[in-house]
Amino acid sequence: MVLPTLDSPPYDPTGLDRRDFVKVCSMAAAAIGLPAEAAAAFVENIQAGRKPSVIWLHNQECTGCTESLLRTTHPTLDELILDLVSLDYHETLMVAAGHQAEEVRRSVMEENDGAYICVIEGAIPMKDDGVYCQIAGHTSRDLVREVAGRAGAVIAIGSCASWGGIPSAAPNPTGAIGAPELLEGLTVVSLPGCPSNPYNFLGVALQYATFGTLPELDALGRPSFAYGRYIHEHCPRRAHFDAGRFVKQFGDEGHRQGWCLYQMGCKGPVTKANCSTLNFGEVDDAWPIGIGAPCFGCTEEGVGFTLGKFETVEITEATPPATYPPIFSSREGPNPWATMALGGIIGGAIGGGIIAAKKVSQPSEDEIGLGEV
């Protein structure tokens, strides 16, 4: 795959040959852990012209989640939006603006009623009737309700859309909430993170686009494949934690050695995400802990933007227990050879004693008793 440069010829959307195209689909499938057959299914679907429609809403957000999507390479964003899905409404990327854009949105909703993917980026303000975020006079609240209500799948990308994120940080002046709270009753796939890891989004979107299904979700609507474990449980620095090697100050010897950041306030033990294994920007260790900054729990409501950056957290699940010594170790038995030897000696002593007893009992001719002279 050649990335375009300034000297490259202009992009030809039809110019992707089949081989590259299959490669894109394979990589996309691999990136999200779907089996190889999924790649074939992607290819088939898309060639049959069945690209799912995506309506992407922006609310109180920084657009960071979109930006992070721009940094993928398998597939790249252009491959995604041109070949794999039909991104029909995206305020940052679309060419249309103003009333024209809103008109597009409405017609797409009509055409694909019940089938399109609604992606929500950003928190929704509820205070004062939601006036703090409006597009064309409509509040985000109403927009989200309307679009999500008629969608085939709803994905809340980023912490802001998942539970409120930064806008909801105390004192939460706008009454910002996340999409699942607003859309009670609907199944909303939450992909918290700040930003959300783009591959988690790609995985969900492509799975829905290909199979029409959503991945397994936990109680908060987060896909288990990405949010099933605490960072602490699959952190590359876990060995340092287990051996008690902690960074005490930024820049100290431990920090240079890459030791555990727990004592610097790392929220890994209470934060579920897969940053530790997926990383960002497709560069190894390009994630907070990897570059020596303690995790601040951006995915978790009540942790990110709530707890102090350097506040240490409790560890509620001590896993895995195998690395701690038990209270009592098991017991070993005695060496059989030594037992035999000692047994032999004791037996010999008893035997010898019996023989000796017999011997001393025999009188000698010299012996005379007391009283006899």
- Residues lying near another protein in the complex (CB under 8 A) are found at 239, 241-246, 248, 262-263, 312, 314-315, 318, 321, 323-335, 337-339, 341-342, 345, 353, 356-371, 373
Burial of 244-257, coded b for 16+ CB within 10 Å and e otherwise, reads eebbeeeeeebbee
Report the nearest approach of another protein to the CB of residue 371 (Å): 8
Report the nearest approach of another protein to the CB of residue 76 (Å): 39
Q: In whole angstroms, what is the distance from residue 261 CA to residue 80 CA?
A: 37
Q: Which residues, 6 or more positions from 295, have their beta carbon under 8 angstroms from its beta carbon?
A: 231, 261, 266, 267, 268, 271, 275, 288, 289
Which residue's CB is nearer to another protein, number 291 or number 357? 357
Which residue's CB is nearer to another protein, number 48 or number 373? 373
Q: Which residues, 6 or more positions from 72, have their beta carbon under 8 angstroms from its beta carbon?
A: 80, 198, 199, 202, 282
Which residue's CB is nearer to another protein, number 131 or number 340? 340
Q: Which residue has the tokens 């001590």?
A: 318
Report the nearest approach of another protein to the CB of residue 243 (Å): 5
Q: In whole angstroms, what is the distance from residue 223 CA to residue 182 CA?
A: 19
Q: In whole angstroms, what is the distance from residue 341 CA to residue 352 CA?
A: 16
Report the nearest approach of another protein to the CB of residue 294 (Å): 12
Report the nearest approach of another protein to the CB of residue 172 (Å): 30
Which residue's CB is nearer to another protein, number 70 or number 356? 356
Q: In whole angstroms, what is the distance from residue 270 CA to residue 317 CA?
A: 9
Burial of 2-11, coded b for 16+ CB within 10 Å and e otherwise, reads eeeeeeeeee
Report the nearest approach of another protein to the CB of residue 228 (Å): 21
Which residue's CB is nearer to another protein, number 114 or number 371? 371
Which residue's CB is nearer to another protein, number 70 or number 349? 349
User: Which alpha helices (H) appear in 61-97, and where do they start and end?
Assistant: 64-70, 77-79
Report the nearest approach of another protein to the CB of residue 106 (Å): 54
Distances (CA, A) of 305 to 255, 260, 299, 301: 24, 22, 10, 8
Which residue's CB is nearer to another protein, number 113 or number 311? 311
